[in-house]
Structure 1
Amino acid sequence: MTAIALRQIRKTYGSLEVIHDVDIDIASGEFLVLVGPSGCGKSTLLRMIAGLEEISGGVLDIGGKVVNALPPSERDIAMVFQDYALYPHMSVRENMAFGLKMRGTAEETIDRRVSHAAGILKIEPFLDRRPAQLSGGQRQRVAMGRAIVREPSAFLFDEPLSNLDAALRVEMRLEIAKLHNRMKATTVYVTHDQVEAMTLADRIVVLNAGRIEQIGAPLDLYHRPASLFVARFIGSPTMNTMTVELMSHGNEKALSFKDRTLPLAGAGTARIAPGAVTLGIRPEDLTACPQEEAWFSGDLAVAERLGSQTYGYVEIGEARMLTVEFPRDTPIRVGDPIHVRPNTDAIHLFEKASGLRIN
């Protein structure tokens, strides 16, 4: 069942169009993440769902009802902001109860909902404190609690973890995931952090300059990016990309790179004319090999040891750097010669002009 439907949604500021004909169906209970670089329109899109930005064109349907003209208070959604937006002069309990009081909710119902939300978020000891007496993570829990007590049909999160330090972001990410698993509420979540997107989402919407580049499950986007933009944006470290030559051998196609030729099979390549294409290969799909078997050779410029894995950044000439994932205890040092070859089954090919996937 669709909980929220966006149909040809557009947003313009005068003559400037910043959201272009966006179509998304969000299922009931789904955790959908909007992700993309700064300025791509993800927060604007979320604010249009919330009713905080006017919709310039298209139809927004929430729970089977067109809500384009409805104010935020009548859309049955709750939003958690990046800056918490807590009232500093109120206690945690009062912050969580304020919206319900404004709606005229019975005191008994307010107490029950606040106690329930505080229990879920483990903030009972802080109910009588004010926001200034709380840590960043505790304040974010209060902001989430204020949304939970409303018992909305959908939750909207606008980069809620961006103000937290790295350790707290991980902790709160787990809390949000557990909260969703427990409540099964429809959730739309905006972030520029692809790790948050990959770990939280049922589906990810990748936005680029106000347009949808791709929608899919996290691992589908990782393994089958529809465009060069998605390939470079999803994955950390980013995918290695380079220009190679696509050649025809009768009815067959082959890749040519330096003195290497790789026959290609599979749908999609037959329609592409011979010429330059972009090859993509992820760091974990490169393997160390003898020099005579190598596709890429160079000297190690930087070794990044992260504990669970090691990344090597290899200078391969023409001021280009190749990222290679090594087993975590590989004894590599800066200046070492590195020779690698790709797993040819994991090669991604993109049209040079459009950036669209072709294999």
Structure 2
Amino acid sequence: MTVIRHIDLDIESGEFVVLVGPSGCGKSTLLRMIAGLEEISGGDLVMGGRSVGHLPPAERNIAMVFQDYALYPHMSVEDNMAFGLKMRNEEPAHIAGKVRNASGILKLEPFLDRLPAQLSGGQRQRVAMGRAIVRDPQAFLFDEPLSNLDAALRVEMRLEIAKLHRRIKATTVYVTHDQVEAMTLADRIVVMNGGNMEQVGPPLELYRRPKTLFVAKFIGSPTMNTLDCDIVERSEGRVRLRMPAGDADLPSTEASHDLTRLTLGIRSEDLDICSPDAAWFTGELSVVEHLGSQTFGYLDIGRDQTITVEFPRTSTIRVGERVSVAGRKEHAHLFDPNDGRRID
């Protein structure tokens, strides 16, 4: 069975690339193929100008950091970090220097004599990262390394990984299902869907200009509001869509010429309160979330549909209020409802 299809990806030296996507999309499988833990049935994998797709993992000069840390429980932190180098029969003085350098970078000096069971989850993850650093690998591979940590530790370790990458400038491929990790860590994000690359680009490019409806709904929290709308009129460079509360004229191209419907996408922060006669959507607030820095309202617009609206953080809106909103036309996204492709 073919799991990964049509992958054509160049990763620059020192680049931080994050693979994201829903469960079963193939991101971890792709990472394991790079590591040599899964067989590549076709195509080629090239690192530093050398084809390595046929080589076993030990000969690829890659370090992998796993979700479950994979530390030896009977070894101290120092011995865990040094183990791979000892297996290479490197000089003890060289090993000690490498461990000392890595433990300094990761602030592990006070814990070198401890066993993994005596460490917190974040400290164990730093040990796993240190074991990778001492090897001076050609690339680092991270397989959802923060998913076992609580929310506060995830934020702390995310910052540690970002600082580490800036310091050692190592080529990194990082798998996560957490788009916040992807948006904050990546130089480029690869969105995976069904074994294919859906879109590749810098985080804000994917957020502001998704090429497909899948990317639009996957990247961003809360997810982009989407709604299928009838086309009621066309003119050169414009299209008029029938909204639940009124029509909206939006920029469009000839790509929509043969369509009778389009899928509108609009993010919560691009909707503004307006008068009912100018509204795209009017409805009753079913849920309000006051998050401190942000306030979100969930607006029931009828037809069993709810849209998310971001209000000013000082807003006093309440559940049950009736609200009218319109979108900022320059930030509206249009997609072909048949194949989900963006209409440029």
Counterparts in 2 of 1:280-291, with a 5 A limit?
280-291=265-276
Per-residue deviation, residues 299-327 of structure 1 (Å, max 9, x unmatched):
11111111111000111111111100001
1:256: Cα distance to partner? Answer: 2.0
Match of 1:336 in 2: 321
1:35: Cα distance to partner? Answer: 0.4
Change in 2 beyond 3 A, CA 1:349/1:168:
same
Alpha-carbon distance between aligned partners in 2 of 1:97 and 1:76, rounded to the nearest angstrom: 16
Residue pair 1:50, 1:72 contacting (<8 A) in 2 also: yes
Match of 1:222 in 2: 207
Alpha-carbon distance between aligned partners in 2 of 1:345 and 1:332, rounded to the nearest angstrom: 26
Q: What SS is found at the alignment partner of 1:167?
A: helix
Residue pair 1:252, 1:263 contacting (<8 A) in 2 also: no
Per-residue deviation, residues 147-176 of structure 1 (Å, max 9, x unmatched):
000011110000000000000000000000
Residue pair 2:224, 2:268 contacting (<8 A) in 1 also: yes
How many residue pairs are counted as aligned between the two chains? 343
Q: What SS is found at the alignment partner of 2:4?
A: strand
Alpha-carbon distance between aligned partners in 2 of 1:133 and 1:319, rounded to the nearest angstrom: 52
Which residue of 251, 260, 269 corresponds with 1:265? Answer: 251
Aligned-pair Cα RMSD in Å: 1.2
Per-residue deviation, residues 66-110 of structure 1 (Å, max 9, x unmatched):
001111111111000000000000000000000000001100010
Q: Is 1:88 the counterpart of 2:73 in the alignment? A: yes
Match of 1:135 in 2: 120
1:263: Cα distance to partner? Answer: 3.4
Change in 2 beyond 3 A, CA 1:48/1:327:
same
Consecutive unaligned residues in structure 2, runs of 5 or more: none
Change in 2 beyond 3 A, CA 1:193/1:135:
same
1:271: Cα distance to partner? Answer: 5.0
Alpha-carbon distance between aligned partners in 2 of 1:187 and 1:305, rounded to the nearest angstrom: 36
1:252: Cα distance to partner? Answer: 5.0
Residue pair 2:20, 2:190 contacting (<8 A) in 1 also: yes
Alpha-carbon distance between aligned partners in 1 of 2:250 and 2:278, rounded to the nearest angstrom: 19
Per-residue deviation, residues 120-164 of structure 1 (Å, max 9, x unmatched):
000111000000000000000000000000011110000000000
Q: Is 1:198 the counterpart of 2:183 in the alignment? A: yes
Residue pair 1:247, 1:274 contacting (<8 A) in 2 also: no
Residue pair 1:81, 1:159 contacting (<8 A) in 2 also: yes
Counterparts in 2 of 1:1-359, with a 5 A limit?
16-249=1-234, 251-258=236-243, 260-265=246-251, 268-359=253-344
Alpha-carbon distance between aligned partners in 1 of 2:120 and 2:191, rounded to the nearest angstrom: 32
Residue pair 1:253, 1:270 contacting (<8 A) in 2 also: no
Per-residue deviation, residues 28-58 of structure 1 (Å, max 9, x unmatched):
0000000000000000000000011111110
1:269: Cα distance to partner? Answer: 3.9
Per-residue deviation, residues 197-253 of structure 1 (Å, max 9, x unmatched):
000000000000000100000000000000000000000000000011234445454
Change in 2 beyond 3 A, CA 1:228/1:41:
same
Per-residue deviation, residues 240-276 of structure 1 (Å, max 9, x unmatched):
000112344454541222463333435x444531301
Alpha-carbon distance between aligned partners in 1 of 2:57 and 2:63, rounded to the nearest angstrom: 9
Q: 2:338 is aligned with what amino acid?
A: A
The worse-fitting range, judged by mean Cα deviation, of 16-25 and 142-151 is: 16-25
Q: What SS is found at the alignment partner of 2:8?
A: strand
Consecutive unaligned residues in structure 1, runs of 5 or more: 1-15
